[in-house]
Homo-oligomer: A and B are copies of this chain.
Amino acid sequence: MRAVDWLLHEDEFNPSALGKCEAVMCLGNGYLGLRSATEERYIGERRGLFVAGTFNRFHESEVCELPNAADFLEMDIFLNDEKFNLQSGTVKSYSRTLNLSTGELCRKVEWVSPIGRGYTLDFFRVVSLCDLHTIAQKVCITPLDGNAELSLSTGINGQITNSGSQHFSEGAKRLYEKKYMQLVQTTVESNIDFVITTHCNFYGGEAESHIHMDRRKIFSVYTAAINKGECLTIEKITTVHTSRDKACENLGTEALQAHGLANLKKQSVGYDKLLVDSAAAWKAILWDNVPVTVESENPRDATALRFAQYHLQIMAPAHDPRMNIGAKGLSGEGYKGHTFWDTEVFALPYYIFTQPKTARSLEEYRYNSLPGAREKANLGGFKGAQFPWESAWLDDGEVTPLWGAADIVTGLPIPILTGQIEIHITCDVCYGIWQYYMATGDEDFMEKYGYEVIFETATFWESRLEEGDDGLLHINHVIGPDEYKDGIDDDAFTNYFARWNLYLAMEYYDKLSGTALLEKLKERLTLDRSGWQSKAEHVYVPAPREDGVIPQNSTFLILKDIDLSKYKAQKQVGSIYKDYNHDQIGQMQVCKQADVLLLLLLMEAAFTPEVKRANWNYYEPRTLHDSSLSLSTHCILAGDMGDYAEAYSLFERACNIDMGPNLNSSNDGIHAGSIGGIWQCAVLGFGGLRLVGDKIRIEPKLPESWRRLEFYAFLKGQKVRIEITKDKINLENTTRTGEVKLEINGIEHVLTDMLNIDNYSQPI
């Protein structure tokens, strides 16, 4: 994978890396995600079409997941009876390119068939950012050595599954007007209709077509003659609609079918027009609006930021507050499309600063899912709202699966306990809402949704705290961010944030005191401010030891140390599981990811630089970065400590999680949190934009190789352009309808229109 300028390139067809390109070059628009599988099929591919929020549960033995819908990308191409396939014949030239600027995927191939006839085949594809339901494909075929008879078989294939689990019943198949093919699939449990409608147009030659229907399949076989040296162009336009779409919720299946057909006809304006319109939308939404511009000695850094913005755009179901971001976005089956803390802690800052409406929608989802969160608290014998570790439907509550990979000692699958005991998600959600509020000042959101979530989560913590023999309140038997430790007590991260959640609720309760809103909330909710307070005051939070090290939990520091160098140097994450099982790893001082360090970052004002340094020195060598969420946290923290070279190195590693050379790490989908982390490294880390308490702070820490960083951030409703060079900070309020208070390198400023700071000095 080469990342150059606005482009991601694959220069050589590699059948071992199909999954990677499918995910990393995934197309989408937040409504749907379409893995970039090739038109011709290969073993090892993982074709995927996912529509946000359409969860289904295949069987009671599984949890719900985002179903993998029918494939329409496939094209079986025969040229003079030889099947086009890059594993046969000779590939004379090959390139596959994702243009991050336009969202177009191109593949250009010069292929010599097994019997020696040359052809060029150029494939183009775009998922529209204008009409969320439309996907366009174009194929140009030129025979080089003689005339060719083309036979092209393409249609809609509903045989696709989620790794064997089939979420759909076989629905209607229909050919309209001898040209428009349609397949209906309905999820078996959640009863969502999917209607996919498609048709092909030929340019540069006449084609005959013949319709076929097979099990879960409708397709046409097109035959056409192509003269030597001439180009035949096939365009395939497809629409995808579901009964979960807000516009279609109350349509019956037949009306949805008619709607899908009507929209296909409307969208059939030709590939090029669809592409131009969609590219214009990319420009308007991102590249002309809130681009991050990096001038670095390593030009790949700029591409990495574009890559991050591209994926953050296509993964977010900004159109519907009943949906949220999956841990793999919409780019794969991994994590079943479920929403984790990744949203608030790793992705949300991007939306807060660049697309506050999307950020609001994502947090409205949390409010909307309070029924499930209340149910989860209640099931555990607690009060208030406990957000599920993994979240799907609004009223699902917990959807974490129960079993994972193989335990090498017992020979059984490893139980997954995160859904039961990784409870810090509840304060993470609160933290996300608070950050959104701090950045935007969106009082309307808080009144409608935000305060209620903060109060209800505080009530959960109040009921969850356990009095210990020491008279203090503890949180026992949890998993902290470091998931290599199960069922530990007094996880530092969890305890600090639970206490913070209680104090935040008290602060807002007091602020709302005497308002009609508070009275209304009190009618519906049990708001026990004094209960919050009496508990908050007695929460045990592990203080730094004399050497500054904060115990990650009550036992971590007394566990045995082992030589981790083999695993620190690993090529694939999780290699320690080849030598030890989960229980054994639980008995060692080894961390999967940032835990205490994440606490130090998110609550940065609460800890001294000395404590940060001490904990870095202690924990980083013991951390395997086996979670994709680890490197960006370490990067930002390294910058905060003045280790710019280390920070930059960690940034590069974070970028490599998806963009890097590992062939299979992204098979199940891109790493949404990690991609949010790339943006965080640049803007919150190197750019130094941070929310500290209710303050907005800018404290740039550009790495050596970065000459200039420019980005945009919505701050209190004002869109601010922030340009940072080695010696200057230039700010421009492009909205100019209000003022923004900022602290820049320790000095408070008020930004109304422009602010230019010369010769600032980066902290050590």
Contact = CB atoms under 8 A, between A and B. Distances in A.
B166 A406 contact: no
Contacts of A578: 210
Contact of A170 (B62, B83, B85): B62
A43 interface: yes
Interface in A598-652: none
A87 interface: yes
Interface in A401-439: 404-406, 408, 411-413
Contacts of A163: 159, 214-216
Contacts of A161: 159, 161, 164, 166
A61 to B, nearest CB: 5
Nearest to A212: B406
A88 B556 CA distance: 51
Interface residues of A, number: 48
A165 interface: yes
B16 A83 contact: yes
B166 A170 contact: no
A213 B59 CA distance: 20
Nearest to A404: B213
Interface in A174-205: 174-178, 188
Contact of A413 (B88, B169, B173, B176): B173
B170 A405 contact: no
A380 B83 CA distance: 50
B178 A411 contact: yes
A211 interface: yes
Contact of A213 (B43, B160, B169, B405): B405
A603 B149 CA distance: 51
B164 A159 contact: yes
A763 B58 CA distance: 64
B164 A166 contact: yes
A188 B58 CA distance: 10
Contacts of A406: 173, 175, 211-213, 218
Copies of this protein, total: 2
A175 B406 CA distance: 9
A165 B164 CA distance: 9
A212 B169 CA distance: 31
Contacts of A411: 174-178, 211
A166 B168 CA distance: 10
Contact of A166 (B58, B212, B213): B58
Contacts of A61: 169-171
A41 interface: yes
A53 B384 CA distance: 52
A580 interface: no
A345 to B, nearest CB: 27
Contacts of A404: 213
Nearest to A70: B164
A169 B58 CA distance: 8
B170 A211 contact: no
A42 interface: yes
B83 A85 contact: no
A174 B578 CA distance: 17
Given A211-B408, A406-B218, A408-B211, A164 B158 contact: yes
Interface string A48-92: 000000000011111000000000000000000001010110000
Nearest to A41: B43
A171 B164 CA distance: 13
Contacts of A175: 406, 411-412
A173 B403 CA distance: 10
A59 B406 CA distance: 31
Interface in A15-63: 15-16, 41-43, 58-62
Contacts of A59: 169-170, 188
Contacts of A173: 406, 412-413
Contacts of A213: 404-406, 413
A406 B178 CA distance: 12
Interface string A719-756: 00000000000000000000000000000000000000
A184 to B, nearest CB: 11
Given A211-B406, A211-B408, A411-B211, A216 B166 contact: no
A609 to B, nearest CB: 44
Contacts of A160: 164
Contact of A43 (B42, B405, B412): B42
B216 A164 contact: yes
Contacts of A41: 43
A415 to B, nearest CB: 12
Nearest to A166: B166
Contacts of A158: 164
B215 A164 contact: yes
Contacts of A215: 163-165
Interface string A195-233: 000000000000000111111101000000000000000
A164 B216 CA distance: 7
A60 B169 CA distance: 9
Interface string A686-724: 000000000000000000000000000000000000000
A166 B188 CA distance: 12
A509 B761 CA distance: 110
A60 B188 CA distance: 10
Given A43-B41, A212-B405, A170 B159 contact: no
Nearest to A42: B43
Contacts of A60: 169
Nearest to A62: B170
A159 B165 CA distance: 7
A174 B58 CA distance: 22
A716 B716 CA distance: 98
Contacts of A164: 158-161, 166, 170, 215-216
Interface of A: 15-16, 41-43, 58-62, 83, 85, 87-88, 158-161, 163-166, 169-171, 173-178, 188, 210-216, 218, 404-406, 408, 411-413, 578
Given A164-B215, A165-B215, 14 more contacts: A59-B170, A59-B188, A61-B169, A158-B164, A159-B164, A161-B161, A161-B166, A165-B170, A173-B406, A176-B411, A178-B411, A212-B405, A213-B413, A214-B405
20 contacts: A43-B43, A58-B166, A58-B169, A61-B170, A85-B87, A87-B87, A158-B164, A159-B161, A159-B164, A161-B166, A165-B166, A165-B170, A165-B215, A174-B412, A210-B408, A211-B408, A211-B411, A213-B404, A213-B406, A213-B413
9 shortest interchain CB distances as A-B pairs: A159-B164, A175-B411, A213-B406, A166-B166, A87-B87, A163-B215, A59-B169, A41-B43, A164-B216
